[in-house]
Protein backbone atom coordinates (compact mmCIF):
# COMPACT_ATOMS: atom_id res chain seq x y z
CA UNK A 1 0.00 0.00 0.00
CA UNK A 2 1.29 3.43 -0.94
CA UNK A 3 0.90 6.03 1.77
CA UNK A 4 -0.70 9.32 0.74
CA UNK A 5 1.99 11.99 0.41
CA UNK A 6 0.69 13.96 3.39
CA UNK A 7 0.81 10.92 5.66
CA UNK A 8 4.37 10.15 4.64
CA UNK A 9 5.26 13.64 5.79
CA UNK A 10 3.65 13.25 9.20
CA UNK A 11 7.00 13.08 11.06
CA UNK A 12 7.96 16.43 9.54
CA UNK A 13 4.59 17.86 10.56
CA UNK A 14 5.20 16.65 14.11
CA UNK A 15 8.61 18.30 14.21
CA UNK A 16 7.13 21.58 12.95
CA UNK A 17 4.30 21.41 15.48
CA UNK A 18 6.76 20.71 18.29
CA UNK A 19 8.93 23.64 17.20
CA UNK A 20 5.90 25.94 17.22
CA UNK A 21 4.89 24.75 20.67
CA UNK A 22 8.42 25.20 22.02
CA UNK A 23 8.78 28.69 20.52
CA UNK A 24 11.92 30.08 18.92
CA UNK A 25 15.25 29.53 20.64
CA UNK A 26 16.34 32.12 23.18
CA UNK A 27 19.16 33.42 21.02
CA UNK A 28 17.04 33.71 17.87
CA UNK A 29 16.08 37.33 18.43
CA UNK A 30 19.46 39.05 18.03
CA UNK A 31 20.70 39.25 14.45
CA UNK A 32 23.92 40.84 13.24
CA UNK A 33 24.87 41.99 9.74
CA UNK A 34 28.09 41.02 7.94
CA UNK A 35 29.93 43.99 9.46
CA UNK A 36 29.02 42.85 12.96
CA UNK A 37 26.39 45.53 13.61
CA UNK A 38 23.21 44.58 15.46
CA UNK A 39 20.15 44.66 13.23
CA UNK A 40 17.14 46.52 14.59
CA UNK A 41 14.88 43.92 16.23
CA UNK A 42 11.49 43.53 14.58
CA UNK A 43 8.14 43.31 16.33
CA UNK A 44 9.60 44.39 19.69
CA UNK A 45 6.35 46.27 20.35
CA UNK A 46 4.79 42.83 20.72
CA UNK A 47 7.42 41.74 23.26
CA UNK A 48 6.73 41.90 26.99
CA UNK A 49 6.48 45.48 28.20
CA UNK A 50 8.10 46.01 31.61
CA UNK A 51 7.77 49.71 32.51
CA UNK A 52 8.10 53.38 31.53
CA UNK A 53 10.36 55.86 33.29
CA UNK A 54 9.55 59.48 32.35
CA UNK A 55 12.06 62.34 32.46
CA UNK A 56 10.57 65.50 30.95
CA UNK A 57 12.93 68.25 29.76
CA UNK A 58 11.19 70.88 31.92
CA UNK A 59 12.10 69.00 35.10
CA UNK A 60 15.76 68.74 34.02
CA UNK A 61 16.83 72.33 33.36
CA UNK A 62 15.30 72.17 29.88
CA UNK A 63 17.50 69.31 28.69
CA UNK A 64 17.00 65.79 30.05
CA UNK A 65 19.65 63.18 29.21
CA UNK A 66 16.82 61.05 27.81
CA UNK A 67 13.81 63.34 27.23
CA UNK A 68 10.27 62.08 27.55
CA UNK A 69 8.91 58.59 28.09
CA UNK A 70 11.15 55.49 27.94
CA UNK A 71 9.08 52.40 27.12
CA UNK A 72 11.04 49.27 28.04
CA UNK A 73 10.47 45.77 26.65
CA UNK A 74 12.09 42.34 27.07
CA UNK A 75 12.00 39.56 24.47
CA UNK A 76 9.32 37.00 25.43
CA UNK A 77 11.59 33.95 25.55
CA UNK A 78 13.92 35.61 28.06
CA UNK A 79 10.93 36.87 30.05
CA UNK A 80 9.70 33.26 30.36
CA UNK A 81 13.13 32.18 31.62
CA UNK A 82 13.34 35.14 34.02
CA UNK A 83 9.99 34.15 35.48
CA UNK A 84 11.31 30.65 36.18
CA UNK A 85 14.80 31.47 37.36
CA UNK A 86 14.88 35.12 38.42
CA UNK A 87 17.87 35.63 36.12
CA UNK A 88 18.32 37.09 32.66
CA UNK A 89 19.52 34.28 30.38
CA UNK A 90 22.17 34.61 27.71
CA UNK A 91 20.45 36.06 24.65
CA UNK A 92 18.25 38.48 26.62
CA UNK A 93 17.36 41.60 24.65
CA UNK A 94 15.99 44.66 26.40
CA UNK A 95 14.62 47.46 24.23
CA UNK A 96 14.16 51.06 25.35
CA UNK A 97 11.96 53.08 23.01
CA UNK A 98 11.68 56.83 23.48
CA UNK A 99 8.37 58.63 23.09
CA UNK A 100 7.81 62.38 23.18
CA UNK A 101 5.21 64.22 25.28
CA UNK A 102 2.26 65.36 23.18
CA UNK A 103 0.11 66.90 25.85
CA UNK A 104 0.16 67.92 29.51
CA UNK A 105 -3.57 67.69 30.00
CA UNK A 106 -6.10 65.04 28.98
CA UNK A 107 -9.58 63.86 29.96
CA UNK A 108 -8.13 62.04 32.99
CA UNK A 109 -6.40 65.16 34.32
CA UNK A 110 -3.15 67.07 34.18
CA UNK A 111 0.00 65.08 33.59
CA UNK A 112 1.90 63.64 30.68
CA UNK A 113 0.56 61.96 27.55
CA UNK A 114 2.54 60.14 24.89
CA UNK A 115 3.21 61.65 21.47
CA UNK A 116 5.53 60.42 18.72
CA UNK A 117 8.46 58.02 18.79
CA UNK A 118 11.84 59.68 19.16
CA UNK A 119 14.45 56.93 19.38
CA UNK A 120 15.45 53.36 20.14
CA UNK A 121 18.17 51.65 22.20
CA UNK A 122 18.90 47.99 22.91
CA UNK A 123 20.96 46.06 25.41
CA UNK A 124 21.86 42.46 24.62
CA UNK A 125 23.31 39.85 26.96
CA UNK A 126 25.69 37.71 24.90
CA UNK A 127 28.53 35.92 26.67
CA UNK A 128 30.16 35.02 23.37
CA UNK A 129 30.28 38.53 21.93
CA UNK A 130 30.56 40.61 25.10
CA UNK A 131 32.61 38.45 27.45
CA UNK A 132 34.59 41.57 28.41
CA UNK A 133 31.48 43.52 29.54
CA UNK A 134 29.92 43.52 33.04
CA UNK A 135 27.19 40.87 32.95
CA UNK A 136 28.06 40.32 29.26
CA UNK A 137 25.71 43.12 28.21
CA UNK A 138 26.39 45.05 25.01
CA UNK A 139 24.67 48.42 24.46
CA UNK A 140 23.38 49.78 21.15
CA UNK A 141 21.69 52.99 20.03
CA UNK A 142 19.59 53.04 16.87
CA UNK A 143 19.29 56.81 17.13
CA UNK A 144 17.50 59.56 19.00
CA UNK A 145 15.12 60.49 16.19
CA UNK A 146 12.48 58.89 13.95
CA UNK A 147 12.82 56.83 11.86
CA UNK A 148 15.62 55.02 13.63
CA UNK A 149 18.59 53.30 11.98
CA UNK A 150 18.38 49.75 10.69
CA UNK A 151 21.67 48.73 12.34
CA UNK A 152 23.78 49.85 15.30
CA UNK A 153 27.39 49.28 16.37
CA UNK A 154 28.06 48.28 19.95
CA UNK A 155 28.84 51.28 22.20
CA UNK A 156 32.23 51.46 23.83
CA UNK A 157 32.76 49.77 27.19
CA UNK A 158 31.50 51.84 30.10
CA UNK A 159 29.70 54.48 28.05
CA UNK A 160 26.30 53.10 28.98
CA UNK A 161 27.23 50.49 31.57
CA UNK A 162 28.58 52.98 34.13
CA UNK A 163 25.14 54.23 35.21
CA UNK A 164 23.66 50.73 35.04
CA UNK A 165 26.43 49.31 37.22
CA UNK A 166 26.10 52.13 39.73
CA UNK A 167 22.34 52.20 40.16
CA UNK A 168 20.45 49.25 38.65
CA UNK A 169 19.00 46.68 41.02
CA UNK A 170 19.57 43.43 39.12
CA UNK A 171 22.35 42.45 36.71
CA UNK A 172 22.58 46.08 35.45
CA UNK A 173 18.80 46.10 34.71
CA UNK A 174 16.71 48.81 36.44
CA UNK A 175 14.15 46.34 37.77
CA UNK A 176 13.34 48.77 40.58
CA UNK A 177 11.43 50.81 37.94
CA UNK A 178 9.91 47.83 36.08
CA UNK A 179 6.86 46.52 37.97
CA UNK A 180 6.22 43.75 35.44
CA UNK A 181 9.61 42.17 36.16
CA UNK A 182 9.32 42.63 39.90
CA UNK A 183 5.93 40.90 39.89
CA UNK A 184 7.13 38.08 37.63
CA UNK A 185 10.32 37.03 39.36
CA UNK A 186 10.12 33.99 41.62
CA UNK A 187 10.88 34.07 45.33
CA UNK A 188 14.54 33.19 45.92
CA UNK A 189 13.58 29.78 47.37
CA UNK A 190 11.46 28.87 44.36
CA UNK A 191 13.89 29.65 41.57
CA UNK A 192 14.24 27.04 38.83
CA UNK B 1 -0.05 -2.95 5.71
CA UNK B 2 -1.04 -1.53 9.04
CA UNK B 3 -0.19 2.15 9.45
CA UNK B 4 1.74 3.08 12.59
CA UNK B 5 -0.60 4.71 15.08
CA UNK B 6 1.10 8.08 14.80
CA UNK B 7 0.76 8.14 11.02
CA UNK B 8 -2.93 7.35 11.23
CA UNK B 9 -3.26 10.41 13.41
CA UNK B 10 -1.50 12.71 10.96
CA UNK B 11 -4.70 14.56 9.96
CA UNK B 12 -5.31 15.40 13.62
CA UNK B 13 -1.72 16.59 13.94
CA UNK B 14 -2.25 18.83 10.93
CA UNK B 15 -5.39 20.34 12.43
CA UNK B 16 -3.60 21.01 15.71
CA UNK B 17 -0.63 22.56 13.90
CA UNK B 18 -2.97 24.77 11.86
CA UNK B 19 -4.81 25.86 15.02
CA UNK B 20 -1.49 26.77 16.65
CA UNK B 21 -0.44 28.78 13.60
CA UNK B 22 -3.77 30.59 13.44
CA UNK B 23 -3.75 31.42 17.15
CA UNK B 24 -6.72 31.32 19.49
CA UNK B 25 -10.03 32.75 18.33
CA UNK B 26 -10.62 36.45 18.84
CA UNK B 27 -13.35 35.96 21.39
CA UNK B 28 -11.41 33.44 23.48
CA UNK B 29 -9.99 35.99 25.90
CA UNK B 30 -13.13 37.20 27.71
CA UNK B 31 -14.55 34.76 30.23
CA UNK B 32 -17.61 35.26 32.44
CA UNK B 33 -18.60 33.43 35.59
CA UNK B 34 -22.03 31.88 36.22
CA UNK B 35 -23.35 35.16 37.66
CA UNK B 36 -22.39 37.02 34.49
CA UNK B 37 -19.37 38.82 35.97
CA UNK B 38 -16.24 39.21 33.87
CA UNK B 39 -13.35 37.12 35.14
CA UNK B 40 -10.04 38.91 35.51
CA UNK B 41 -8.06 38.24 32.33
CA UNK B 42 -4.87 36.26 32.86
CA UNK B 43 -1.48 37.02 31.35
CA UNK B 44 -2.55 40.49 30.14
CA UNK B 45 0.97 41.73 30.96
CA UNK B 46 2.06 39.63 27.98
CA UNK B 47 -0.51 41.26 25.70
CA UNK B 48 0.42 44.13 23.39
CA UNK B 49 1.25 47.27 25.36
CA UNK B 50 -0.07 50.44 23.69
CA UNK B 51 0.83 53.39 25.94
CA UNK B 52 0.96 54.99 29.41
CA UNK B 53 -0.83 58.20 30.37
CA UNK B 54 0.40 59.63 33.66
CA UNK B 55 -1.68 61.85 35.95
CA UNK B 56 0.15 62.46 39.25
CA UNK B 57 -1.88 63.60 42.27
CA UNK B 58 0.32 66.67 42.80
CA UNK B 59 -0.63 68.06 39.38
CA UNK B 60 -4.34 67.56 40.12
CA UNK B 61 -4.95 69.47 43.36
CA UNK B 62 -3.70 66.47 45.35
CA UNK B 63 -6.33 64.07 44.05
CA UNK B 64 -6.24 62.84 40.45
CA UNK B 65 -9.27 60.92 39.15
CA UNK B 66 -6.85 58.13 38.23
CA UNK B 67 -3.61 58.70 40.17
CA UNK B 68 -0.25 57.67 38.77
CA UNK B 69 0.63 55.71 35.66
CA UNK B 70 -2.02 53.97 33.52
CA UNK B 71 -0.45 51.12 31.53
CA UNK B 72 -2.75 50.14 28.68
CA UNK B 73 -2.75 46.79 26.83
CA UNK B 74 -4.80 45.20 24.03
CA UNK B 75 -5.27 41.46 23.54
CA UNK B 76 -2.91 40.21 20.80
CA UNK B 77 -5.57 38.72 18.53
CA UNK B 78 -7.47 42.00 18.35
CA UNK B 79 -4.21 43.90 17.85
CA UNK B 80 -3.48 41.72 14.80
CA UNK B 81 -6.94 42.48 13.40
CA UNK B 82 -6.60 46.21 14.15
CA UNK B 83 -3.32 46.26 12.24
CA UNK B 84 -5.06 44.78 9.20
CA UNK B 85 -8.33 46.68 9.30
CA UNK B 86 -7.84 49.80 11.44
CA UNK B 87 -10.87 48.74 13.47
CA UNK B 88 -11.34 47.06 16.84
CA UNK B 89 -13.05 43.71 16.22
CA UNK B 90 -15.79 42.25 18.35
CA UNK B 91 -14.10 40.57 21.31
CA UNK B 92 -11.45 43.28 21.75
CA UNK B 93 -10.27 43.60 25.35
CA UNK B 94 -8.39 46.67 26.50
CA UNK B 95 -6.78 46.57 29.94
CA UNK B 96 -5.77 49.61 31.97
CA UNK B 97 -3.46 48.78 34.86
CA UNK B 98 -2.64 51.45 37.43
CA UNK B 99 0.86 51.83 38.84
CA UNK B 100 1.94 54.17 41.62
CA UNK B 101 4.88 56.56 41.52
CA UNK B 102 7.83 55.25 43.56
CA UNK B 103 10.33 57.98 42.89
CA UNK B 104 10.67 61.45 41.35
CA UNK B 105 14.35 61.15 40.60
CA UNK B 106 16.42 58.38 39.05
CA UNK B 107 19.76 57.91 37.30
CA UNK B 108 18.27 59.30 34.06
CA UNK B 109 17.08 62.50 35.74
CA UNK B 110 14.11 64.05 37.50
CA UNK B 111 10.69 62.78 36.55
CA UNK B 112 8.42 59.89 37.43
CA UNK B 113 9.32 56.26 38.05
CA UNK B 114 6.95 53.34 38.47
CA UNK B 115 6.26 51.77 41.85
CA UNK B 116 3.63 49.20 42.82
CA UNK B 117 0.41 48.15 41.13
CA UNK B 118 -2.70 49.93 42.37
CA UNK B 119 -5.64 48.75 40.27
CA UNK B 120 -7.07 47.22 37.12
CA UNK B 121 -9.85 48.11 34.68
CA UNK B 122 -11.03 46.47 31.47
CA UNK B 123 -13.17 47.47 28.53
CA UNK B 124 -14.60 44.73 26.33
CA UNK B 125 -16.25 45.10 22.92
CA UNK B 126 -19.02 42.52 22.74
CA UNK B 127 -21.96 43.15 20.41
CA UNK B 128 -23.92 40.25 21.94
CA UNK B 129 -23.64 41.37 25.55
CA UNK B 130 -23.43 45.15 25.15
CA UNK B 131 -25.60 45.88 22.14
CA UNK B 132 -27.06 48.86 24.06
CA UNK B 133 -23.67 50.51 24.63
CA UNK B 134 -21.90 52.97 22.29
CA UNK B 135 -19.55 50.88 20.15
CA UNK B 136 -20.73 47.82 22.12
CA UNK B 137 -18.08 48.45 24.79
CA UNK B 138 -18.69 47.27 28.35
CA UNK B 139 -16.57 48.72 31.18
CA UNK B 140 -15.32 46.85 34.26
CA UNK B 141 -13.29 47.76 37.32
CA UNK B 142 -11.42 45.09 39.24
CA UNK B 143 -10.59 47.61 41.93
CA UNK B 144 -8.31 50.51 42.76
CA UNK B 145 -6.01 48.62 45.08
CA UNK B 146 -3.78 45.54 45.13
CA UNK B 147 -4.52 42.69 44.90
CA UNK B 148 -7.43 43.30 42.55
CA UNK B 149 -10.70 41.36 42.48
CA UNK B 150 -11.07 38.12 40.55
CA UNK B 151 -14.35 39.19 38.93
CA UNK B 152 -16.11 42.45 38.05
CA UNK B 153 -19.67 43.42 37.19
CA UNK B 154 -20.25 45.64 34.16
CA UNK B 155 -20.48 49.34 35.09
CA UNK B 156 -23.70 51.18 34.41
CA UNK B 157 -24.21 52.77 31.00
CA UNK B 158 -22.51 56.12 30.66
CA UNK B 159 -20.49 55.95 33.87
CA UNK B 160 -17.25 55.33 31.99
CA UNK B 161 -18.35 55.83 28.40
CA UNK B 162 -19.17 59.53 28.76
CA UNK B 163 -15.54 60.68 28.81
CA UNK B 164 -14.57 58.15 26.15
CA UNK B 165 -17.36 59.31 23.84
CA UNK B 166 -16.50 62.96 24.38
CA UNK B 167 -12.74 62.84 23.93
CA UNK B 168 -11.37 59.59 22.49
CA UNK B 169 -10.14 59.58 18.92
CA UNK B 170 -11.26 56.16 17.70
CA UNK B 171 -14.29 54.07 18.64
CA UNK B 172 -14.11 55.42 22.24
CA UNK B 173 -10.43 54.36 22.48
CA UNK B 174 -7.88 57.09 23.31
CA UNK B 175 -5.60 56.20 20.41
CA UNK B 176 -4.27 59.77 20.43
CA UNK B 177 -2.29 58.76 23.56
CA UNK B 178 -1.32 55.25 22.37
CA UNK B 179 1.64 55.47 19.96
CA UNK B 180 1.73 51.70 19.39
CA UNK B 181 -1.80 51.72 17.96
CA UNK B 182 -1.21 54.85 15.89
CA UNK B 183 1.91 53.30 14.35
CA UNK B 184 0.19 49.96 13.71
CA UNK B 185 -3.01 51.07 12.01
CA UNK B 186 -3.08 50.87 8.22
CA UNK B 187 -3.57 53.87 5.97
CA UNK B 188 -7.28 54.29 5.13
CA UNK B 189 -6.70 53.16 1.52
CA UNK B 190 -4.92 49.96 2.61
CA UNK B 191 -7.42 48.63 5.15
CA UNK B 192 -8.30 44.97 4.88
- The answer, yes or no, to whether ipTM is higher than 0.95 is no
Residue A121 predicted with pLDDT over 90: yes
pTM greater than 0.90: no
Whether residue B67 contacts residue B100, with contact meaning beta carbons closer than 8 Å, is answered with yes
Residue B8's pLDDT band (cuts 50, 70, 90): low
Residue B9's pLDDT band (cuts 50, 70, 90): low
Distance separating the N- and C-terminal Cα atoms of chain A: 49
CA atoms within 13 A on the CB side of B119: 16
Nearest-by-Cβ selection for A110 from B59, B108, B112 = B59
pLDDT at residue B178 in the model: 98
CA dist., res. B13 & res. B6, Å (int): 9
pLDDT at residue B2 in the model: 55
If one counts every other C-beta atom within 10 angstroms of the C-beta of residue B80, the result is 17
The average pLDDT across B87-105 equals: 98
Residue A8 predicted with pLDDT over 70: no
Better-predicted residue by pLDDT, A185 or A22: A185
3-state SS class at B152 = strand
pLDDT at residue A27 in the model: 41
CA dist., res. A183 & res. A138, Å (int): 26
Tell me if A20 and B21 make a contact (CB, 8 A cut-off): yes
pLDDT at residue B190 in the model: 84
**For residue range B40-92, what is the model confidence (pLDDT) as tens digits?**
999 999 999 999 999 999 999 999 999 999 999 999 999 999 999 999 999 99
pLDDT at residue A126 in the model: 97
Q: How far is B54 from chain A (nearest CA, A)?
A: 5
Residue A127 forms contact with B (CB below 8 Å): no
Nearest-by-Cβ selection for A55 from B71, B79, B108 = B108
Q: List the single best residue of A105, A113, A165, A167 to mutate versus B (max B Cβ within 10 A).
A: A113
pLDDT at residue A161 in the model: 94
Distance separating the N- and C-terminal Cα atoms of chain B: 49
Tell me if A111 and B56 make a contact (CB, 8 A cut-off): yes
Per cent of chain A over pLDDT 70 is 85
Residue B23 predicted with pLDDT over 70: no
Better-predicted residue by pLDDT, A141 or B157: A141
pLDDT at residue B4 in the model: 57
Q: How far is A128 from chain B (nearest CA, A)?
A: 29
Amino acid sequence: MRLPRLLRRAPLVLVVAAAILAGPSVTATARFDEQGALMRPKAYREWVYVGTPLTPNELNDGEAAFPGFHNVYIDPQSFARYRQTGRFPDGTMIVREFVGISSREGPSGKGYFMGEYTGLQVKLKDAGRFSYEPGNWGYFSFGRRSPVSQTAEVRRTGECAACHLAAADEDTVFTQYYPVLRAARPEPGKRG
